[in-house]
């Protein structure tokens, strides 16, 4: 089982994502933004950070990187893709997920341990959780407020594509407390919180995040 983690210039949590992939028992494969080559991986993770400095709009430039062309094609063909934080922003910019991530309501960067409710455990990245489970995972971002037209939000809610929802205090003013969503197939998921920073209670608030990395292994085996 080989899972890729993409590094753009300005990506920050790539080494943490690789650590989490290894902790799940899979082989981690580093993918480079400038190479249009997925090295035959079984799934791809776009880690957090500030790709290309995010000076234009979070994720707006990364979406055009050579590696993204391959990822977009493969994702449309069913490759499981997880976007974390900046990776979620990139997936929205690339049109693989709907909506956009706006500046946090408080206009500050927010780093805190965040409770999430698992709303949908039928996706490639959430099958290891009980439906309705509450998990605690760090959130850390400046632009984390999910927004989309009402029709899109209604569709997401109606189709059960809200995968994770903020429990307790909403940290950024996100619509409907949405923390993470999926595409219609459930194979592409994006979320703002950082599961890779919750794989060991020594360095994170819990090991609740490991479930996402384990879930995808099941989904790849099942496929």
List of residues contacting other proteins (CB under 8 A): 9-10, 12-13, 15-16, 19, 49-50, 52-55, 106, 108-112, 138, 140, 142, 194, 196-197, 202-204
Could you tell me the smallest distance in angstroms from the CB atom of residue 98 to other proteins? 27
Q: Which residues in 35-70 are b (16+ Cβ under 10 Å) and which e?
A: eeebeebbbbbbbbbbbbebeeebbbbbbebebbeb
**Residue number with CB closer to other proteins (11 or 123):** 11
**Residue number with CB closer to other proteins (185 or 203):** 203
196 is catalytic: yes
108 is catalytic: no
**Residue number with CB closer to other proteins (61 or 79):** 61
Could you tell me the smallest distance in angstroms from the CB atom of residue 51 to other proteins? 9
Could you tell me the smallest distance in angstroms from the CB atom of residue 110 to other proteins? 6
* Residue whose tokens read 């580093």: 30
93 is catalytic: no
Cα–Cα distance between 43 and 81 in angstroms, integer? 6
Q: Which of 33, 93, 119, 194 is catalytic?
A: 194
Cβ neighbours for 57, distance < 8 A, ≥ 6 positions apart = 93
3-state helix, strand, coil split of the chain in percent (to 5) is: 30, 25, 45
Cα–Cα distance between 31 and 68 in angstroms, integer? 11
Q: Which of 33, 70, 85, 119 is catalytic?
A: 85
**Residue number with CB closer to other proteins (187 or 197):** 197
| 111 bridge partner residues | 140
* Residues tagged active-site: 85, 194, 196
């Amino acid at each position: 089982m080989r899972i890729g983690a993409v590094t753009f210039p300005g990506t920050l949590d790539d080494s943490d994502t690789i650590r989490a992939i290894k902790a799940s028992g899979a082989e981690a494969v580093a993918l480079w933004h400038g190479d249009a080559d997925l090295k035959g991986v079984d799934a791809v993770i776009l880690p957090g950070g500030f790709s290309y400095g995010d000076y234009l709009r979070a994720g707006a430039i990364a979406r055009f990187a050579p590696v993204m062309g391959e990822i977009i094609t493969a994702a449309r063909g069913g490759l499981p893709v997880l976007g974390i934080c900046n990776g979620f922003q990139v997936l929205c910019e690339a049109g693989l997920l709907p909506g956009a991530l706006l500046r946090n309501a408080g206009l500050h960067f927010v780093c805190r341990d965040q409770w999430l409710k698992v709303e949908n455990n039928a996706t490639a990245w959430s099958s290891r959780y009980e439906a309705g489970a509450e998990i605690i995972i760090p959130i850390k971002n400046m632009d984390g407020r999910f927004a989309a037209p009402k029709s899109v939000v209604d569709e997401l809610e109606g189709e059960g594509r809200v995968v994770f929802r903020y429990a307790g205090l909403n940290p950024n003013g996100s619509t409907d407390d949405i923390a993470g969503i999926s595409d219609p197939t459930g194979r592409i998921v994006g979320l703002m919180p950082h599961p890779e920073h919750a794989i060991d209670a020594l360095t994170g608030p819990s090991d609740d995040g490991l479930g996402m990395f384990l879930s995808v292994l099941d989904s790849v085996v099942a496929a």
